[in-house]
Structure 1
Amino acid sequence: MMEAKISMILLLSFVLLELFGCFVQGLQCWSCENADSFEHCEEIGKFEECNPSQRVCGMEVRKNSFQQGGKIKVFKFCKQREACGNVLNQNDKSAVEVTQCNPKSPNSVCRCCCEGDRCNVGELQCLKLEKEEEGHEVIEPPMTCSPMMEGLENGEVRCTNGSNVASVCRFFCSVGFYIDGSHVTICHPVNSLAKWSDDAPVCRRSRCYPQRPLSHGNMKCSDEDLYGSICKFSCDDRYQLIGEETSVCQADSPGSRYGVWSTVGQFCEINRCRNELTSPANGTILCSDRNNVGSVCEFQCVDNYQLSGSRYSACQKNDLDRPPTWSELTPNCERRQCRNMPPRPVNGHISCSDEKYINSICKFRCDVGYELDGESQSVCVSDGSYKKFYGEGGIFWTNQSPTCKLKKCQAVETPQNGYVTCSRENFIASTCNFVCEKGFSLQGASESTCIIKKNGDEVTLEWTEESPTCEMMSCPTINLKNGLVDCSNNFNVGSECKFACTANNYMLHPSTATKTTCKSDGNWQGEFPCCSRPCPPFAVVDFVVVLDSSSSIGRENWPVMLDFLNSIIDTFEIGEDAANFGVIRYNKEVDTASIINLNKIQDDKTMLKELVSNLPYDGTGTRTGHAMKYAYDFMLSTEVGNRDFAADVMLVITDGRSQDNVKIPAEEIRRRGILTLAVGINPGTGRLDLEQLETIAGTPKRVFIVEDGFSALTPEYALKVAKSICPSPCEN
């Protein structure tokens, strides 16, 4: 018994799942034609989407005559429910041999239908196939329940497989009706018969809860409180209906026993205007009898506000079909205002604190370069004691708009012995030009323009330049350093000035420039001289000499080189305002122990020459580039006597080719503004490198080649080298 119940539960679950799939999508049936067997039908067939009118799946099994081999043919398809009922009835109708559906006989035709998505797949439950001993197939019709569940008044029935065993039929009522009975019945076998699990239910009309009685009124319903009934409401005299005039009993939800009224809460109220009027914003209201018929309400506004709308409104009774209404809507209290804004002044602006409302203050200002002519502000007032402008209806502006007129700069001062002409009458952008009389020169700007000047929020008009003066014309002041200028009439036009040098050892250059005259155009005639000293012996220079003491010089030639250097020193005066000398000797290294710095001997030429004569000689190698860099780094610095006002000179004396790079230090030295010279002594062995010497000096003009060797290092040759460092006379 328990196993039968479990089988039934599983069967119901399967049927319900199939039924749910049918509702989710359109019906699908297996389709094939003229198949030789059920297996062949599955091989050649496919699922077909049925059209909406085809609600069941069908199948036919035909058996041919013995002459045709007695084989079966299988057909599967979509079918209309009514057509399916017709063909099922033909199974039991008479034929040549007992019935049309008789699988034991040839020419048999058996038909079957089922409800549910894809229900005709495989060998249908409605056709049972058995094998006879001789091998022929036997087809028996399926068991069915009776009666067929074909229709439901005020509803419908949906079955998964018609009236066949295991078919599940569900019942649905139309809107406004509910099921009285079971919602589902199942066709299941009982012994040798098939029987429905429940009888078909009845669809009964839904009912709404009764409406509440209407006090002081009447309610009439078309069909009591049943679904679809319409109730109409009306009130007694002197009362009005509040709410909708009708209410309909409607369905609450599909299949619900109870309905709902479309409207509820109607009641009869004594005649009055539905809403009490409220006071307007910034105003008050006073009513004689609240919102009852005949009540009159009066509206008033607070100070500085006025009514926009009617002052009074009455609650009036209308005809019987309409409730009482107020004669007027609540008015607005609008702020009082002057009708027109003061006009904006031309070339000016206006800004108001509260537009054109009462007590608004409008202030006027002019564009830059303009000034107000009139009052700077105007107030919107209602006091009649004010002067009235741009107003009416008792509200006025206190002042009319001012005008903006152009500002002027103050008149410029005309220079004595001159005159001035101005454009635009001293208004903005006016330009004044100043001219002096003949014989006078303009001291100051020749023109001045009237411009706008801002200082914080203050704006003023000013001239770009002060008025100039006209002074008697003169030539530029003459200064003669280390000399005297003696003029007949100062530096005025026509004055003659004579020049003379007063400092020791200084003389005029050029020597012919002894005087000059101030011409009428304010320029001096001719060129100015300078007071200069002859070079040599006078030259304001810091002179650093770099001596080659390599083994190629030879001990016997070393004194000759030192005497040559002393001859160069002899050509110059030494001192604070003259030349200073520094000397280093080098080979592959710099001899730092014997260095003579610029500040070591600055005023005693004899002692300086003695230090030079005592310079030692030793060493090998020739690293001229290294020695030049050392001289620049350590001998031309302020710590050892280098003077800012003196020219810097570096002289290299060598007889051989440098073993290191001289280009980099030489270019760096010249980039620092130091004059470089080179004296190359030809030793006769071919080791002198002219190109390298030119690299050291920077130009062939500052390279001196002693072709005849050390014997040619004479005082005369020393003078030639010394003169090459002399600047132009007026620079010395």
Structure 2
Amino acid sequence: MASMYFLSLGLLFCCINRGSGLRCWTCNDARSEKQCIARGQSEKCRGQAMSCQTEIRYHEGAGSIPFITKRCKQTDACENNRGQNPGAAAGPTQCNSGVQNSVCRCCCRGFHCNRRDFWCSENKGTGPTPKKCKVLNAPENGSKQCKFRTLEGDIGTRCTFSCEAGYHLNGNSESVCRRGARGTKPKFNNDPPDCEEMPEITAGGDNPEDLHDCDDAPAEPENGGRSCLRNSAGVSCRYFCGDRESLVGDGIVTCTRKGGWDGPTPECKPRCSKLQENFRNGNRVCDGEDNVGSTCEYSCNPGFEMIGSATSKCVQRGKKAIWSPRAPTCTTSLPLVASCEDLGTLEHGEILCDGETNKIGTICEISCVDRGFALRPSNHTEIECLANGWSAEKPCCSRLCPPFAQVDVVIIMDSSSSVRKQGWGKMLSFVKEVIGSFTVSDASARFSVFRFNSKVDVDSQILFGAFPNNKTNLLHAVEEIPYNGRGTYIGRALTHARDTVLKTDNRENIKDMVWVLTDGISKDEVAKVSTDLRDFGAEVFALGISHPKGKLSEEQLLSIGGDEEHVIITEDGINSLSGELVERVAESICDHSCI
């Protein structure tokens, strides 16, 4: 008999599924948001990846066409990437929409929070709001200008301050929002300055004895320069550094009324070499950019061992700055190979390598070229032949799901009195939306739907063979399923699915799923029949609809689904049966195998 996938739709949306992990939308180098959705896929984040990232690049020669990549990302690394958006680069900042050679990154947390937005929404999804710096106020009698990616106060926000005519700056002219030490909030590295009033100078000179020109402007910093109009009272000098140095100290000094400069000459300190964007076979989290004092912490992916120190700090050595100790490497203890296995060809796609396809050091780019197919796994767009084999398994090109899925799905709906007529209408609409997400045919997905209360309604049930190639008639038949009855006997419903539905027009060698939707506690035994179904090859999901009176048993729903990954519980009761939950259920139906 066909292996069976039973989805018990007893809607447990929020509080169970704790252990299933975050799911993000993933795509690689899509040319538009529409293409990203069409060619991308949902991916379950692994390990410490608890954020969804959107990356937008503008390549040289491609004009204003964006190259969009979406992926799972470790939270600290994602926020560190986003904090670099305002940093200096090819344009005014690293992130410049439509400017060639620029790259912009943003992060969010929550189920598919990066799927439909070109930029991540700050508060989208169920995860915590990203930490921010407290916004700085402009000085009185002055102004501020801040550069940031999404909102002022994001990590990496850079603010500069200036004073109105007749006032001079007392304090630092620039402040940057930096990530705090572990367990602390981020904060700006400098407090906002004050704008102090300068003496009024009249045409005749009211107090000429009190006004004095300064000596020559302070010396230029080594590896930097200054800009001064003159050395009269009230005039300021601005300092700057070269590309590989950072300004340390106040970037502006002013000539006071007494003829002295109000601060020393700042210094231009060397910066460490810029780190590669990705740390091979591991993760890197840094508390700054490449300034002296910045520290980076490294970790290796599962199966890899670290060679070297897990921490590296940017330190000054004479006139240079270096990372000390050097960044570690992540290696594997797997046996070495003389060459890698031949990749062969890729059905519905292409493999482009920069050398012999199985020679150590060769890098191959992999993509799907036929419409309606996407790469699985989606992040295996580039693999390298290493001394111990390919850096990742060869991907395949699979049909997009949804809408394509080779699966037989049984949907069981609770029609007991607690659901009520209004709730029943919402449940039917939800089921229709889930079915509507898929292609219904003998070559793709098929659906069987029936309701239960104290007994199974066989008169209105829809079996697999009823509408195998007609989604319109199938959806109409779902709409006509009546509502009445009392009692909640889920065990009887599961037994009917096992003994009748899955033995009627069930396709051989095609997965079977059964979703159970319920808002109550079953009055009969559910554990044994659920175990029997799983032992027989079925996958059972329980979707529990929270009820105002609290009549749901988490333990019973776990007995149906078998583990937390197969249980969903709604937070907002019957009102949760729409939108995001439809996507989540449809994603669970998808297999993402190479079909």
Question: Could you say whether these structures have the same fold, taking a TM-score greater than 0.5 normalized by the shorter chain as the test?
Answer: no
Q: TM-score, normalised by structure 2?
A: 0.39
Report the TM-score, using the length of structure 1 for normalisation.
Answer: 0.32
Structure possessing the higher relative contact order (Cα contacts under 8 Å, 6 or more residues apart)? 2
Q: Which has the larger radius of gyration?
A: 1
